[in-house]
A and B are shown apart, each in its own frame.
Chain A
Amino acid sequence: MTDYVLQTEDVAIHYGGVKAVDGVAMTLERGQIRGLIGPNGAGKSTVIDAITGRRRLTRGKVMLGGADVSALGVVERRSRGLSRSFQRTSVFGQMPVRKQVELASYKMGTPDSHADADEVLRELSLDHLGDTVANDLGYGEQRRLDLAIALVGHPTVLLLDEPMAGLSVKESLSLAQHLKALTARRKVSVLLVEHDMDVVFGISDVVTVFELGRVIAAGSPAEVRANPRVREAYLGSAA
């Protein structure tokens, strides 16, 4: 039996008559990177919110390490190894960089949170900015800080919601390659929502395609690229 660190079964989130997400079933294996793509409003971020407990499920189940966490809150899911970054940069504006990353590590129960924070900061090239308050950082640095807060504390599953948003093409590709190496080294499975197709197809092991709140295709990057429905619905000439 496959060792799934994360599994969603028939997940649905409805707002009255609007089906933001409907019947989504997905799995994530240990160490795997799964890219989620689809047009704006397809339900990708809503799925991330459903998995993390930010939004209540209308129907379905979220399993983390084989255990049903659907009824648990955000904090409980985080303590079970589920971590995320946000579509809009979400850091602690008035706190120094190192202090907030160390706090995030401590709250995950890391025995040596200082060393853990230093390691992640070094890997994301933020170590020289440890004493700088987040509000004084540039946009790209804040994006990496957001990522550092999510990565620290050795989570088992990392949900990244458009981590490359607002970065240049060069910055995106650089961060993507770095992210791949970093997640492999820290043995963390990743669910990656991203609009940059070069990034998604470049670092994902598998790709899931959303349209109107439903999964329309899933498979290896090559299979998804070749899927006529995906090309028609989303990729177009980008494929």
Chain B
Amino acid sequence: MKTSHLSIATVAALAIGAAVAFGLSSGTLLSLLTQATHYAIFALGVGLLLRQNGMVSFGHALYFGSSGYIIAILLQLKAVPAEAAVGIAVLGLTAFAFVIGLVIVRVPGVAFGMLTLAIGQMAFLTASRSRGLTGGADGMNVDWPSTLFGVPTELLLKPAGMLILSWSVLVLVLLGLGVLLRGRFGSVTEATRDNEERARFIGIRTLLPRAAVYALSGGITSLAGVLAALNTGFISPEGLHWSLSGVALMMVVVGGTRVLWGPALGAAVYFLAKDVLGDHAQHWMAIFGTALIVVIVFAPEGLSGALCRLLRTPRRQPPAPAAGNPSARVAH
């Protein structure tokens, strides 16, 4: 997609978000869409790691929950203004993810997943047991001030305002990733993912790009956590639990990572299923689980991959080399 097309798509997406937010009168529906958007950003973070590094994380709730806790604690201590607390949470967790990434991205396959699970659960247990600081299993409130980045918090907390803010963050994250991954960083990380040894033999130092992807993925997930903490004004250890990482991973699998927006589509489908099936079946997760199996078996690239395949025009046969070209003698 050309840059001009990307800009038009971004503006259009932002406009659609605003139109939906102002057009819908149902607070429940707006709230559901807002939650879906938060999880879409969360899933984008997990999906980025899978797409660019080929790695599966079972512990990304660490970044989702920790961002809320960092802000809540900083605001409770009145240590810094809320805007600075948001910056510290997102940038601090991104930096933390980079440092952790320098160690754990060296570990291949299932072992990497287990490491992320272990680190995530360490954070979960710490939050659950540090009653004095985090409120323990009961969680803690996030005392947002009356204005945030110059905007009245009351306005942001209205269902329509929250959806517009969350949707805008989602669109801007997608735009940023789209621009970043179309460049050299995208090529380097793809090459490293596909064949790390060959990547080193073409001169790529493979550790830093992999750690950078992990950090970026953690940073994006922490953004989702900030929005969720703003939306609910509350944070509890459940926000750090591995099962939440599992849910995000399910969204990624359902949506697919062939295209950047695949995980976001997965989050939308998950929340739609939760809403529709939840009304009719107590154990809706069992139905969703069956749907997940169907997607994995029949559309291994996820719904976005299947959608792209459906919409793609049949590929033209590439022309053969010209007969006069001396290199045409090279056998095929």
Contact = CB atoms under 8 A, between A and B. Distances in A.
B331 A175 contact: yes
Nearest to B319: A128
A206 to B, nearest CB: 25
A24 to B, nearest CB: 21
A103 B194 CA distance: 13
A141 B332 contact: yes
15 contacts: A74-B201, A79-B203, A84-B201, A90-B195, A93-B194, A95-B187, A95-B194, A100-B187, A104-B203, A123-B327, A125-B325, A127-B321, A132-B318, A149-B202, A175-B331
Interface of A: 52, 74-75, 78-79, 83-84, 86, 90-95, 99-100, 103-104, 106-108, 122-125, 127-129, 132, 138, 140-141, 144, 149, 167-168, 170-171, 174-175, 177-178
B197 interface: yes
Nearest to B206: A75
Interface of B: 184, 187-188, 190-191, 193-195, 197-205, 318-321, 325, 327-332
A127 B329 CA distance: 14
Contacts of A140: 331-332
Nearest to A171: B331
B327 A178 contact: yes
Nearest to A179: B330
Contacts of A92: 190-191, 194-195, 198-199
Given A93-B195, A106-B184, A128-B320, 8 more contacts: A74-B201, A90-B197, A92-B191, A95-B187, A103-B202, A125-B330, A128-B319, A175-B330
Contacts, number: 91
B204 A75 contact: yes
Given A124-B330, A171-B331, A149 B198 contact: yes
Contact of B194 (A74, A94, A122, A175): A94
A178 B190 contact: no
Contacts of A74: 200-201
Most buried by A among B190, B197, B205, B327: B327
A72 B320 CA distance: 43
9 nearest A-B pairs in the assembled complex, by CB-CB distance: A171-B331, A107-B203, A92-B194, A104-B202, A78-B203, A125-B327, A90-B198, A128-B318, A125-B330
A95 B191 CA distance: 7
A75 B197 CA distance: 11
